[in-house]
DNA sequence: AAATATTAGTTTCATATGAAACTAAATGCA
DNA sequence: TGCATTTAGTTTCATATGAAACTAATATTT
């Protein structure tokens, strides 16, 4: 059939996959960021830190960075802000005094318990816009693309 | 069955849809940004401007902003940079001297013609990782989610 | 054990971003 | 026509970001 022996040479931004995915993700992020900000005065980065520590307490900053796909500078700043606001407790690990041990304070847990439903409700509405089949497809696709070594593309 | 009568109350970041989409989009963007930068010294914003003007010349900055999902400040800066580097020509519209008329210079067209294959090849590799069915699903999903009024979720 | 290298986390610095203020032109309205 | 309003694009300003330098602690050599 000889389809695609030579590269397609036209490009329309509207149909360009990386562009579409990026625009979509930004739209979702901005909306969610707005909610966290107005309701809890929390940034997305801070939300992510709360989220992993709510689920798994006593992580180090590096572990948080790993689980949140954030870089260590961003984690450091989010952690310090959350600590200064009283939502996080941070102390040094006994065995290794470089490492910090992070966990939610009582107040942090309270905020966490309020913010999680907001996040989940947003996700639920998003999911509700899709059929069960589409949702399955979405999971399949995300899993597959997530597994790719994008650098190598 | 009573599934989900009450909201789920646990949240794992790994499974949280907005998070997954965002991380994925960032990974794609960063990779592509790296290519444009190292090969052409062009940012993603600049690439987008080139892309729409390569496809549709003589747009105003506002039209570019519209087609690229960029805000006007970002467009202004990208346009000025591209103009100063000689890839874009910018003159005032005859009928309306506030409006600019933007188009690629000869050199800009040359870069455009080099950069488009890089973008398309990246997209093609991405698509190649999916089956035809999955690709169809991806398009369906993007179209559907793109159509949502995210603010209202 | 002293010297060297590695690791965790912070700070610095240079750049990116976007909201709001601004400038200039065009349009609406008195 | 003159004044207010809107629109296109730029500039300013305050904040966000991340790479690289830094500090302090631990681990590894020699």
The string of pLDDT tens digits covering residues A44-101 is 999 999 999 999 999 999 999 999 999 999 999 999 999 999 999 999 999 999 999 9
% of chain B at pLDDT higher than 90: 85
DSSP letters along B31-100, please?
HHHHHHHHHH---HHHHHHHHHHHHS-SB-HHHHHHHHT--HHHHHHHHHHHHHTTSEEEEE-SS-TTSE
Separation between the CA of B98 and the C1’ of D3 (whole angstroms): 21
% of chain A at pLDDT higher than 90: 84
Per CB-CB distance under 8 Å, the chain A contacts of B116 are: 9-11
Q: What is the mean pLDDT of residues A32-51?
A: 94
Contact between chains at B67 and A13 (C-beta distance less than 8 A): yes
Separation between the CA of B11 and the C1’ of C16 (whole angstroms): 32
DSSP letters along A86-144, please?
TSEEEEE-SS-TTSEEEEE-HHHHHHHHHHHHHHHHHHHHHHHTS-HHHHHHHHHHHHH
pLDDT at A147: 85
Confidence grade of residue B3 (pLDDT, cut at 50, 70, 90)? very low
Q: List pLDDT tens digits, range A89-109.
A: 999 999 999 999 999 999 999
pLDDT at A3: 46
Optimal mutation site among A45, A59, A141, interface B, most CBs of chain B within 10 A: A141
Confidence grade of residue B65 (pLDDT, cut at 50, 70, 90)? very high
Burial of A126 (0-12, 13-18, 19+ CB in 10 A): buried
pLDDT at A8: 58
* Residue at the smallest CA–C1' distance to nucleotide C20: B73
A127–B contact, CB cutoff 8 A: yes
pLDDT at B1: 47
pLDDT at A150: 77
**C-alpha to C-alpha distances, A14 to A20, A69, A119, B121, nearest whole angstrom:** 7, 28, 29, 17
Nearest CA in chain A to B19: A29
pLDDT at B92: 93
pLDDT at B8: 58
Q: Inform me whether the pLDDT recorded for A128 exceeds 80.
A: yes
Q: Inform me whether the pLDDT recorded for A131 exceeds 50.
A: yes
Compare CB distances from A21 to B7, B18, B25 and report the shortest one's residue.
B25
Nearest CA in chain A to B134: A141
Q: What is the dihedral of CA A7, A10, A15, A20, to 10 degrees?
A: 80
Q: Inform me whether the pLDDT recorded for B60 exceeds 90.
A: yes
Global pTM reads 0.89
pLDDT at A36: 93
């Amino acid at each position: 059939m000889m389809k695609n022996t030579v590269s397609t040479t036209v490009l329309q931004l509207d149909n360009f996959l990386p562009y579409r995915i990026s625009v979509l993700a930004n739209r979702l992020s901005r909306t969610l960021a707005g909610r966290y900000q107005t309701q809890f005065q929390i940034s997305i980065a801070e939300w992510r830190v709360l989220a992993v520590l709510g689920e798994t307490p006593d992580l180090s900053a590096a572990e948080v960075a790993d689980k949140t796909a954030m870089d260590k500078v961003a984690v450091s700043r989010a952690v310090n802000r959350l600590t200064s606001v009283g939502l996080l407790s941070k102390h040094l690990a006994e065995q290794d005094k470089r490492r910090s041990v992070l966990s939610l304070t009582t107040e942090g847990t309270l905020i966490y318990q309020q913010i999680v439903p907001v996040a989940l409700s947003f996700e639920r509405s998003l999911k509700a816009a899709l059929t069960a089949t589409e949702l399955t497809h979405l999971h399949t696709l995300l899993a597959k693309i997530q597994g790719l070594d994008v650098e190598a593309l």
